[in-house]
Homo-oligomer: A and B are copies of this chain.
Amino acid sequence: MMTPEQLVRSVTAITGYARHAGVEVVSAEAGRVTLSLDKKPELTQFNGFFHGGVVSGLADHAAGAAATTALPAGKVAVTVDLHVNFLSPASGDRLFAKARAIQVGSTICVVTVDMETETSDGLKPCAIASVTLRVVDMPALAETPRT
C-alpha cells in the first residue's frame, strides 16, 4: 500500500506529459497535493510567461492527484470537467498548483486548485481552478504503457 506521496510520484513518473514538462511533487497527503513546474522555453506563452495551457495542465494533474489520494486503494479519479480562471500573468520562474479535494464521493469528486507563481517579489496568485472528476478503477500501473 503506497503512501499518498508515493502514489503521486508514481503516477507522475508514468505520465509522459507530466514527466517531460518537469512536474515536481512538493507535497502530498490524502486529498491535498502541491505540485510545481520550473519555467523553460517549451512551457511559455509568446510573451515569455507560462502558457495558459500549462497552467491548465498543471491544475488538471494536481486535481487528479488530490482526488485520487483521497480515494480507496484501487480507484483513480479522471477529469470530467476543468474550469480555470486566469487572474494575472504567470510571470515568475516557477509555477505552483495547490489542489484540495472538497468533495470525495463514490462516483464524483470536486477539487479546487490555487495556482501561484514565484516571482522576485514572492508568491503571486495567478489562477484558480475547479475540477470535477469521475471515480474509476485504477488500471494495474505495471501494465500501463510507459510512453
User: Does A30 touch B at the CB level, under 8 Å?
Assistant: no
Do A48 and B145 touch (CB < 8 A)? Answer: yes
The complex places the Cα of A48 from the Cα of B145 at a distance, in Å, of 6
Which residue of B is nearest A107, CB measured? B107
Interface status of A3 (Cβ within 8 A of chain B): no
**A128 interface neighbour in B19, B46, B60, B130, Cβ under 8 Å:** B130
Are A61 and B53 within 8 A (Cβ)?
yes
For chain A, what secondary structure do more than half of its interface residues adopt (helix, strand, loop), or is it mixed?
mixed
**In the complex with contacts A15-B46, A41-B16, A132-B132, A79-B52 CB distance below 8 A:** yes
Knowing A42-B21, A85-B81, A86-B79 are in contact, say whether A15-B51 is a contact too (CB < 8 A): yes
Determine if A87 and B58 form an interchain contact, defined as CB atoms under 8 angstroms apart: no
6 contacts between A and B (CB under 8 A): A20-B42, A46-B144, A52-B79, A81-B86, A85-B130, A87-B110
